[in-house]
């Protein structure tokens, strides 16, 4: 009996993460990377940054604002529902060399999955959704003005991943769409470009969509609808991340915007059901399967009582009329 009680006390002690623990983690990162880092604990995130306080604070404000929008949309009460035992860790490098060192510390400490470092290193920013929830970014070649946009955007990715967490992939249109949606809601503008297979690389066809006012991007999507050149949701829902280009990303955030304006409780129900229906067979593979289509169809039916064709029709009508608030 005493043993069980002791075990319970030990377990509770393990679950409670205090400010000192965050500070100790920071000291550990600093010692391992030999980078002079600015430490900060905000309401929902913990920061260790190679930039100074004044340079990092806009990122803190952006991430917090994006997270508060997410909470309002999804009915999330606290960060614990999203991040688990510890606040989301944000590691900011002032350049690529610091970014690599921070990633190396993280992989050594948490080993999130095989190939993590190879996946993260070529990019300028990167999220990790399992174990210690975190995201990473750096200020060169990106400029310091872009980093707050990245922060808001990565919060969007992590929220989609972590909501009713399971270890399997989520549909890329939803992940990318939510990143852009939160970025746009936070700034009325987006600067990220991790769609089109160009994660953090402002080259190629996504260049035109780098640094775009939300109103302008909305107009671009409206024109797509008028010309009927947009892909059907049935097609978009099966795309892999590197198959989502500018037009698909634009439609994805716009469809999310529409669903939330229509009925945010229904949208949350759609997300929740999607997580429960998502096939677990085959493990965390990004490959499209008919089961993944079925999971999305069932979830949309539960959430809005629509098929994806109906969603297309409703969204198109709304987009043509100016993407306004729905009373």
200 binds Zn ion (CB under 5 A): no
Q: Considering only residues 112, 127, 172, 179, which one is a binding residue for Zn ion as defined by CB under 5 A?
A: 179
250 binds Zn ion (CB under 5 A): no
Q: Which is nearer to Zn ion, 29 or 62 (CB)?
A: 62
Q: Which is nearer to Zn ion, 33 or 196 (CB)?
A: 196
Taking Cα atoms as reference points, which of 222, 196, 217, 218 lies closest to residue 207? 196
311 binds Zn ion (CB under 5 A): no
Strand ranges for the chain from DSSP E: 38-41, 45-49, 88-93, 125-128, 134-138, 189-190, 212-213
93 binds Zn ion (CB under 5 A): no
Q: Which is nearer to Zn ion, 194 or 221 (CB)?
A: 194
The SS3 assignment for 34 reads: coil
Mention every residue, 6+ apart, whose C-beta is less than 8 A from residue 35: 29, 50, 93, 98, 101, 102
289 φ, ψ to 5°?
-135, 160
127 binds Zn ion (CB under 5 A): no
Q: How many CB atoms lie within 10 A of CB 145?
A: 11
194 binds Zn ion (CB under 5 A): yes
Which listed range, 99-107, 179-187, 200-208, 210-218, lies at the site for Zn ion (CB under 5 A)?
A: 179-187
Q: Which is nearer to Zn ion, 33 or 252 (CB)?
A: 252
What tokens were used for 127?
């999220």
Query: Which residue's CB comes closest to Zn ion?
Result: 194
Q: Which is nearer to Zn ion, 29 or 192 (CB)?
A: 192
CB of 17 to Zn ion, least distance (A): 28
What's 205's DSSP letter? G
246 binds Zn ion (CB under 5 A): no
Q: Which is nearer to Zn ion, 105 or 195 (CB)?
A: 195
Q: CB–CB of 182/70 below 8 Å? A: yes
Question: Interface residues with Zn ion (CB under 5 A)?
Answer: 176, 179, 194
């Amino acid at each position: 009996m005493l043993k069980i009680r002791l075990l319970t006390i030990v377990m509770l002690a393990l679950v409670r993460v205090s400010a000192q623990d965050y500070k100790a983690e920071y000291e550990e990162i600093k010692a391992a990377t030999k980078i002079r880092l600015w430490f900060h604990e905000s309401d929902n995130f913990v920061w260790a940054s190679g930039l100074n306080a004044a340079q990092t604070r806009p990122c803190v404000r952006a991430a917090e604002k994006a997270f508060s929008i997410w909470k309002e949309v999804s009915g999330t009460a606290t960060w614990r529902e999203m991040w688990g035992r510890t606040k989301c860790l944000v590691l900011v490098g002032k350049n690529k060399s610091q970014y690599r060192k921070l990633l190396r510390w993280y992989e050594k400490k948490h080993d999130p999955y095989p190939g993590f470092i190879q996946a993260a290193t070529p990019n300028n920013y990167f999220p990790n959704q399992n174990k210690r929830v975190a995201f990473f970014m750096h200020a060169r070649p990106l400029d310091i003005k872009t980093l707050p946009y990245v922060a808001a955007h990565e919060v969007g990715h992590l929220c989609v991943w972590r909501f009713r967490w399971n270890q399997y992939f989520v549909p890329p249109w939803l992940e990318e769409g939510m990143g852009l949606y939160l970025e746009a809601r936070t700034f009325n503008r987006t600067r990220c470009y991790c769609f089109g297979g160009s994660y953090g690389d402002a080259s190629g066809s996504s260049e035109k969509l780098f640094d775009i006012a939300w109103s302008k991007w909305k107009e671009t999507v409206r024109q797509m609808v008028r010309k009927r050149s947009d892909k059907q949701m049935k097609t978009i829902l099966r795309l892999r991340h590197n198959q989502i280009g500018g037009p698909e990303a634009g439609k994805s955030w716009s469809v999310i915007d529409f669903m939330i304006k229509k009925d945010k409780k229904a949208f949350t129900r759609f997300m929740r059901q999607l997580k429960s229906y998502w096939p677990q067979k085959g493990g965390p593979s990004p490959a499209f399967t008919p089961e993944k289509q079925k999971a999305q169809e069932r979830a949309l039916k539960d959430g809005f009582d629509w098929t994806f064709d109906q969603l297309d029709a409703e969204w198109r009508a709304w987009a043509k009329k100016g993407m306004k608030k729905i009373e």
